[in-house]
Structure 1
Amino acid sequence: MKILYSATALLLAAAPAALAQNTALNVRIATLAAQEEPKVLAWRRDLHEHPELGNQETRTAGIIAAHLRSLGLEVQTGVARTGVVGVLRGGKPGPVVALRADMDALPITETNSLPFASKVKTTYLGQPVGVMHACGHDTHVAMLMGAAEVLSQVKKDLPGTVKFIFQPAEEGSLPGEEGGAKLMVKEGVLTNPKVDAVFGVHVNAQTEVGMLRYRPGGEMASSDRFTIKVHGKGAHGAYPWNSVDPVVTAAQIIMGLQTIVSRQVKLIDDAAVVTVGTIHAGVRYNVIPPDVEMSGTIRALNPAVQKQIWAAIQRTAKGIAESAGATAEVSIEPYVPVTYNNEPLTAQMLPTLRAVAGAANVSEQKAVTGAEDFSFYQEKVPGLFLFVGGMRKGQDPATAADHHTAGFMLDESGLTLGVKTLATLAADYLVLKH
């Protein structure tokens, strides 16, 4: 019987042996990461106390650029407005791997009593509000700064190049502004030198410190915004038969949209969400307005399902409107693609994750319907995005404040694992591909 082996299968079989040869380097990386902990904590606390919104991260970028220059890296600033890119060339020729951290904070007023809690205030979309690192991006920056320092100390042993990407505006830009990973890619962050693979981590407040979680394939959902404008005919509220009531029609459309996921998407294969978040109509209680506008979000874990939902929203809204004698305009704005972990790359790097955290502390997680613009990098090159525990040991996840909330809190003892994970992923990838 003739047996055929794919290139991927052969590479996976060879991976443990190749990584075993990298043990001495990885031990040194782990030692250096532990030594970096005081610096990493100091960076994180400083950034937490001085948060900056997307595309405004000038102070943060300055700290990062100064640190990378002090390590002797090639540094580029002003990428995608405020982004910073550092290039570390190893002592031997080889492939190029990228490590990414996001820098921006959120328009949220912090309620924690930490000594380094944010007191920063701003005006966002015309409203006074605080600014807070309520999603852990301060830790991402600090961990990647630490990983850059670790890898700079072992660069003579690295067979290739490491590119450090510090990205602004992951949480999105102001209306009318470009930003985030999409703009970083547009401005060539994955070229010169050309990146072969990209890794990123996200701290998680409901995962115990010391834990790593990952998922091959679709890990986080795509995120799209839809807007539906229903056009009817206004009338006095006392004489509805003289109207084509867009409010009632809009209500029927909202209910109809709920059947897309519950009755048209094969949920045993892929989760999806259609949520209406806003609806605006009229100015007076006894007047039927001529128009209604609603908007919402679409989440999907499979690009084919994403497109299926787009078509179903068009069909549902327009069909229901027509049945009522009204019309509906539907617009869909793609925002973030599916965060899709390349399966062969994930399998190749799984031994690294287990070696770094311990096999018992690495687990495959279920997909989530949150979104991440790391997906724009993954559209261009193979990528792996994973989660690092940030909840204190023994805590009930149900009692941990969620991301994007005023009480968001992290156990900083998990940051060293993040530094070690980023640095070791880069080193092991370069060895595997060398």
Structure 2
Amino acid sequence: MNYRLMILLAMLPVMAIAQPKDLEKNVAHIKDSVIAWRRQIHQHPELSNREFHTSAFIAAHLKKLGLEVQTGIAKTGVVAILKGGKPGPVIALRADIDALPVYERANLSFKSLDSADYLGQKVPVMHACGHDTHIAILLGTAEVLTAMKKDIPGTVKFIFQPAEEGPPGTEEGGAPLMIKEGVMDNPKVDAIFGLHINSQTPIGHIKYKSGSVMASSDWFTVKVKGKQSHGSQPWSGIDPVVVAAQIIQGFQTIVSRQSELTKAPVVITVGKIHSGVRSNIIPEELIMEGTIRTLDTKMQKDVHARMKLTAEKIAEASGATAELSIDTKTKVTYNNPSLVSAMLPSIEAAAGKQQVAEADWTTGAEDFSFYGDKAPAFFFFLGGMPLNQEPSKAAAHHTPDFYIDDSRLDVGIQVFCQLVFDYAGKSALVTK
């Protein structure tokens, strides 16, 4: 926290955050509808950049509210604008809308039985990361705020973003394309908030972190070229499989022996290897692919440089060559510290102070990170785990058994609305 912010915070009167009149009643009124919307969307999930029915459902509801609605942004994105009855800043609220190529194993009355084409292959489709809950929460927020329009200080921009999980193949998509097509402008956004449901946090609880909260996600490919030979005579060739094994080990020493892990975590994972056609032939080439996760931008660049040097020099030592390419999918998700400090009391007022706790950072990634380049951003987590569940036994995101208790989605609505009403009075405390 900077010195100026500390002084401003100290000058503020010590008082509870006031809840806008009728907010709690309006949220309670919409709660059952929000759960129903979530289950309808869950039963009919759609993959990234293919959210045609989902976006049509969203747009129809927003238009019914009388909002200014734009469709077709970043292929299937929807944006709605609500102009409040009082002057004030422009606040954006974001929800992602895509599902994953995962088979749903849970025995739910609204279980997904849908399938779709993914890169030429027929795959099952499931909301295995909870984006269905994000859609329902933001739709509910839009309805509640529309009913309270005259009391809102400023403008609210509701962003329903496709392809957070990553667009297929070489397509553009997600937050970068939304930004490229002007979602943070016209009107220009002063601050943006987002939430993510979490299957291992109790329902109704909020977790947050100031500064770096989620990792950057880089995908890498290493092409190792050796010399083909008979499997019985390895000395007559250069084995790219053995070279690749040494490179993988070398990558792990970047994590364990070359990275300052007390500063921030680093993860390097090789998830895919392809080489050879027969068991008795040493192949000429090997291709391996993986992911890099970092929570510090300087460390991210350092790891990239070390991986390149490691791969090339290990290959050179064996007479092979190695070519490394890295594609950055998301940046570090960074919560603006002054925005967190200013708005935390509002979150505590909406969710209950005992239900709000600071979290550790995570090596998961989110393309919400890109919005932070355009305006101060705050991304937090909402619990979706049944209260009697052990966190260690709750199924993780992106798995067939992923499960969300949707009985307290109203907490997400309550928090979003409180942030909208309170930000105007706190905006002077927020530094970019």
Deviations 1:288-312 (CA, angstroms, capped at 9, x unpaired)? 1111111110000000110111001
**Could you say which residue in structure 2 is the equivalent of 1:203?**
197
**Could you say which residue in structure 1 is the equivalent of 2:306?**
312
**Could you say which residue in structure 2 is the equivalent of 1:288?**
282
Q: How has the CA–CA distance of structure 1 residues 147 and 424 changed in structure 2, closer, same or farther, with 3 Å as cutoff?
A: same
Residues 412-423 of structure 1: matches in 2 within 5 Å? Answer: 412-423=406-417
Kept in 2, the 8 Å contact 1:69–1:75? The answer is yes
Q: How has the CA–CA distance of structure 1 residues 14 and 54 changed in structure 2, closer, same or farther, with 3 Å as cutoff?
A: farther
**Could you say which residue in structure 2 is the equivalent of 1:150?**
144
**Could you say which residue in structure 2 is the equivalent of 1:8?**
5
What's the offset of the Cα at 1:12? 2.9
Whole-Å separation in 1 of the counterparts to 2:133 and 2:356:
20
What's the offset of the Cα at 1:394? 2.4
Whole-Å separation in 1 of the counterparts to 2:191 and 2:219:
29
Deviations 1:76-119 (CA, angstroms, capped at 9, x unpaired)? 00000000000000111211000000000111121122111111
**Could you say which residue in structure 1 is the equivalent of 2:91?**
97
**Structure 2 residue 132 is the aligned partner of structure 1 residue 135:** no
Q: How has the CA–CA distance of structure 1 residues 239 and 96 changed in structure 2, closer, same or farther, with 3 Å as cutoff?
A: same
**Structure 2 residue 18 is the aligned partner of structure 1 residue 23:** yes
Q: TM-score, normalised by structure 1?
A: 0.96
The counterpart of 2:171, out of the listed 177, 187, 191, is 177
**Structure 2 residue 53 is the aligned partner of structure 1 residue 56:** no
What's the offset of the Cα at 1:433? 2.9
**Could you say which residue in structure 1 is the equivalent of 2:224?**
230
**Could you say which residue in structure 1 is the equivalent of 2:326?**
332
The counterpart of 1:251, out of the listed 214, 231, 245, is 245
Deviations 1:246-290 (CA, angstroms, capped at 9, x unpaired)? 111111111111000101111111011001111111111111111
Kept in 1, the 8 Å contact 2:208–2:357? The answer is yes
What's the offset of the Cα at 1:324? 0.7
Residues 100-115 of structure 1: matches in 2 within 5 Å? Answer: 100-115=94-109
Percent identical residues: 55
Kept in 1, the 8 Å contact 2:119–2:169? The answer is no
What's the offset of the Cα at 1:9? 2.7
Kept in 1, the 8 Å contact 2:332–2:365? The answer is yes
Whole-Å separation in 2 of the counterparts to 1:160 and 1:282:
61
Q: Which moved more, 1:68-77 or 1:310-319?
A: 68-77
Kept in 1, the 8 Å contact 2:152–2:420? The answer is no
Whole-Å separation in 2 of the counterparts to 1:359 and 1:7:
26
AA in 1 matched with 2:312: K
**Alignment partner of 1:36: what SS?**
helix
Q: How has the CA–CA distance of structure 1 residues 38 and 248 changed in structure 2, closer, same or farther, with 3 Å as cutoff?
A: same
Whole-Å separation in 1 of the counterparts to 2:257 and 2:48:
38
Kept in 1, the 8 Å contact 2:218–2:328? The answer is yes
Q: How has the CA–CA distance of structure 1 residues 43 and 15 changed in structure 2, closer, same or farther, with 3 Å as cutoff?
A: farther
**Alignment partner of 2:245: what SS?**
helix
**Could you say which residue in structure 2 is the equivalent of 1:241?**
235
**Structure 2 residue 375 is the aligned partner of structure 1 residue 378:** no
**Could you say which residue in structure 2 is the equivalent of 1:347?**
341
Whole-Å separation in 1 of the counterparts to 2:116 and 2:60:
26
Whole-Å separation in 1 of the counterparts to 2:8 and 2:384:
33
What's the offset of the Cα at 1:387? 0.4
What's the offset of the Cα at 1:244? 1.5
AA in 1 matched with 2:32: P
Q: How has the CA–CA distance of structure 1 residues 311 and 428 changed in structure 2, closer, same or farther, with 3 Å as cutoff?
A: same
What's the offset of the Cα at 1:16? 6.0
**Could you say which residue in structure 2 is the equivalent of 1:38?**
32
**Alignment partner of 2:383: what SS?**
strand
AA in 2 matched with 1:291: E
AA in 1 matched with 2:316: E
Deviations 1:392-423 (CA, angstroms, capped at 9, x unpaired)? 11210122111111111111112010111111
Deviations 1:150-176 (CA, angstroms, capped at 9, x unpaired)? 111111111110000000011111101
**Alignment partner of 2:293: what SS?**
strand
Whole-Å separation in 2 of the counterparts to 1:413 and 1:11:
38
The number of aligned residues is 427
**Structure 2 residue 264 is the aligned partner of structure 1 residue 298:** no
**Could you say which residue in structure 2 is the equivalent of 1:433?**
427
Whole-Å separation in 1 of the counterparts to 2:73 and 2:289:
32
Structure 2, unaligned runs of 5 or more: none
Whole-Å separation in 2 of the counterparts to 1:391 and 1:120:
25
**Could you say which residue in structure 1 is the equivalent of 2:391?**
397
Whole-Å separation in 2 of the counterparts to 1:311 and 1:366:
27
Whole-Å separation in 1 of the counterparts to 2:32 and 2:204:
18
Q: How has the CA–CA distance of structure 1 residues 148 and 88 changed in structure 2, closer, same or farther, with 3 Å as cutoff?
A: same
Q: How has the CA–CA distance of structure 1 residues 72 and 13 changed in structure 2, closer, same or farther, with 3 Å as cutoff?
A: farther
Kept in 1, the 8 Å contact 2:204–2:409? The answer is no
AA in 2 matched with 1:87: I
AA in 1 matched with 2:6: A
**Alignment partner of 1:221: what SS?**
strand
Kept in 1, the 8 Å contact 2:212–2:333? The answer is yes
**Structure 2 residue 154 is the aligned partner of structure 1 residue 160:** yes
Spell out structure 1 runs of 4+ moving beyond 6 A: none
AA in 1 matched with 2:27: A
AA in 1 matched with 2:310: T
Whole-Å separation in 2 of the counterparts to 1:253 and 1:64:
47
What's the offset of the Cα at 1:13? 3.6
Whole-Å separation in 2 of the counterparts to 1:230 and 1:386:
41
AA in 2 matched with 1:278: K
Deviations 1:132-191 (CA, angstroms, capped at 9, x unpaired)? 111110000000000011111111111110000000011111101110011001111000
What's the offset of the Cα at 1:10? 4.1
CA RMSD of aligned residues (A): 1.5
